[in-house]
Amino acid sequence: MLTVPELFLREIRLGDDTKKLSLGNEAYTPLKTFLKKDAWQFHEENIAKTYVYVDSMESGARIFGYISIICSAIELCDGQRPEEPVRANAYPAYPAVKIVRLAIDKSIRGNKFGEQVIDWVIAHVIDNIMPHVGCRFLIVDSKQESIGFYEKCGFTLVDSETNRLAANPMMFIDLHMLHS
């Protein structure tokens, strides 16, 4: 039986070991490439903030998974738009935080680390962003094969034919409903 190491979630640091992340599927190569080539610089330049699962709180730790988030917006179909406040419905889009990357090492999958990092992001946005900046939704452009995972985490598919058939359909959680 595989022993899962004790992992910590923290901001990415210069010198973290980005090379050992193993995703086990060639389709996920862009996730590993982003981590190795762009995550640190994007983090430092406030393009996307990346949080990593590591085996040590020290710099140079091995990364077992990560999530990157940005500011964004979402346009919803009529049946999915919030009913209140009515005046907000005059705008085509609502403010959101977007998960732009999420990857978990194949060696620790099945241990709820993906769900835990989603729960952490929800709490982070509700506790640290919503009190200071207008932000109603958490969104993600899901891979088709990940829709079930995100639904299990509470996300809803944007209800349009174009979105349902997209390679990376948009999904959302109304954070106001969780926060109220």
The two three-digit tokens of residue 13, written as one number: 């640091």
The answer to whether the beta carbons of residues 145 and 169 sit under 8 Å apart is no
pLDDT in tens, 95-138: 999 999 999 999 999 899 999 999 999 999 999 999 999 999 99
Residues with Cβ < 8 Å from 109, sequence gap 6 or more?
none
pLDDT in tens, 57-102: 887 889 999 999 999 999 887 778 887 766 767 778 899 999 999 9
Whole-prediction pTM value? Answer: 0.91
Q: What whole-number percentage of the chain has pLDDT above 90? A: 72
